[in-house]
């Protein structure tokens, strides 16, 4: 089963 990832998992605060 797959779950929805969030953007913050991939992109960091600049």
Partner 1 sequence: MLELRLVQGSLLKKVLESIKDLVNDANFDCSSTGFSLQAMDSSHVALVSLLLRSEGFEHYRCDRNLSMGMNLGNMSKMLKCAGNDDIITIKADDGGDTVTFMFESPTQDKIADFEMKLMDIDSEHLGIPDAEYHSIVRMPSSEFQRICKDLSTIGDTVVISVTKEGVKFSTAGDIGTANIVLRQNTTVDKPEDAIVIEMNEPVSLSFALRYMNSFTKATPLSDTVTISLSSELPVVVEYKVAEMGYIRYYLAPKIEE
How many residues form the binding site for partner 1 (CB under 8 A)?
14
Residues 1-14 that bind partner 1 (CB under 8 A): 1-14
Give me the least distance between CB of 8 and partner 1, in Å please: 6
For 4-10, the CB contacts below 8 A with 24+ separation are none
End-to-end CA distance of the chain: 32
In whole angstroms, the minimum distance from the beta carbon of 5 to partner 1 comes to 4
- Which residues make up the interface to partner 1 (CB under 8 A)? 1-14
């Amino acid at each position: 089963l797959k779950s929805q990832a969030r953007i913050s998992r991939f992109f960091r605060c600049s």
